[in-house]
A = this chain, B = another copy of it.
Amino acid sequence: MKINSNFLNLKDSYLFATVGRKTTEFKKAHPDKKVIRLSIGDVTRPLAPVVIGAMHRAVDDMSRKETFKGYGPDQYCYGYEALIDSIKGSYARKGIALESAEVFVSDGAKSDLGNILDLFAPENTVLVPDPVYPVYVDTNIMAGRKILYADANLANGFLPMPDFSVDADIIYLCSPNNPTGAAYTKEQLKEWVRYATEKNAVLLYDAAYEYFITDPALARSIYQIEGAKKCAIEFCSYSKTAGFTGVRCGYTVVPQELVREGVSLNKLWARRQSTKFNGVSYITQMGAAAVFTEEGEKEISENLDYYRENAKIIANCLDGLGIFYTGGKNSPYIWMKCPLGMDSWEFFDYLLENANVVGTPGSGFGKNGEGFFRLTAFGTKEDTQEACSRIELLLRK
């Protein structure tokens, strides 16, 4: 028996563990200090009332013989039509028409972003932005694929554009980006679609944060770009959109027009999912189906606005201090340049010790993250305000 030895090439990430350990140690040494965490990558606002109501009703359905639901419907890989229709409605409001068979309901974008790789041969070359969400890199290391990096940096505002001299088969884009908060305009994405088309590549477009976008120049879906249905798969999530990080529901769009080597990737993914997956809880699906209703959109907007307001507080603080950052608008993440010439971990220690504020060192997201620092908008408004007052006081000196 041979193990998959590619696993041995994975590097252990101590980023969040080290952040946690240092924070705990500081608190222990300074029990009188109130430490504020602007490092939270998880949502903190409760689920919208319309979602809660739908879930209670779905639980009740499961309690009665007459309304009990077993395996989800076969037709669309276990996705209920009510949910798929509501997702199609959300797309329609962005000007995108989808067929039901193009929408796949899953337990979250992270699962699908990893599992989608089953469809591709190990020999493909992968292009990943740096810095980025570590899952893109690790899942491809597990499969033994060659990985190239597209440098995101100060020069390009952390939005790398395609280099046509580089050949890639699988391209990851995340917009608004985690960790940088930077979001592509529709104009910029046209270039990426042109590149993917020319290289006969497939774009894996992670749109998990698209509901934070309010600027109409920015793309909310890759399918707002002409030709994208022939080269892109899009991954979406209710996690940040509707606070579903603990509920687990996402959706992936694989267009019928997306064909490689004469084979429909839509059909391949349907076969993958019907063989290695068995759908999402009926209760979760009914809750998710309530999100993109008129009432649901109104209620999730209140939560999104709450986080947007936090992002703005942080952005205003950095503006006042004259510190470069990306994100903050159209994104829950703020990616700041470390001041005073510090590297990422130096600034982490400096901020923790002097302002009792915790963030995430950018170097943990890739080599281009060195010298940068991630703050997030997922805390409470009060904490965010207080943290910013402390940061101002510290860095204005």
Q: What is the interface of chain A, defined by CB distance below 8 A to chain B?
A: 1-5, 7-8, 10, 42-47, 49, 52, 55-56, 59-60, 62-65, 68-72, 107-108, 110-111, 114-115, 118-121, 123-124, 135, 138-139, 142, 169-170, 199-202, 243, 245-248, 260-261, 263, 265, 268, 271-272, 275-284
Contact = CB atoms under 8 A, between A and B. Distances in A.
A1 B63 contact: no
With most chain B CB atoms within 10 A of its CB, the pick from A1, A65, A280 is: A1
Contact of A271 (B10, B202, B281): B10
Contacts of A114: 275-277
B278 A107 contact: yes
A4 B69 contact: no
A142 B272 CA distance: 8
With most chain B CB atoms within 10 A of its CB, the pick from A44, A115, A124, A278 is: A278
With most chain B CB atoms within 10 A of its CB, the pick from A44, A246, A263, A284 is: A246
Contacts of A247: 62, 281-283
9 shortest interchain CB distances as A-B pairs: A114-B276, A42-B70, A2-B121, A1-B169, A69-B246, A70-B245, A52-B63, A46-B68, A246-B282
28 contacts: A1-B124, A1-B260, A2-B123, A3-B121, A3-B260, A4-B118, A7-B271, A10-B271, A42-B70, A43-B70, A44-B70, A45-B68, A46-B62, A46-B63, A52-B63, A55-B283, A59-B283, A62-B246, A71-B245, A72-B246, A107-B107, A107-B280, A111-B278, A135-B276, A142-B272, A247-B283, A281-B283, A283-B283
Nearest to A143: B118
A120 B4 contact: yes
A156 B265 CA distance: 42
Contacts of A123: 2
Given A7-B119, A69-B246, A283 B282 contact: no
Nearest to A168: B1
A44 B275 CA distance: 23
Nearest to A201: B1
A278 B245 CA distance: 9
A2 B1 CA distance: 28
Contacts of A120: 1-4
B2 A279 contact: no
A275 B56 contact: no
A300 to B, nearest CB: 14
Contacts of A7: 119, 263, 268, 271-272
B47 A63 contact: yes
A284 B278 CA distance: 15
Contacts of A248: 107, 278-281
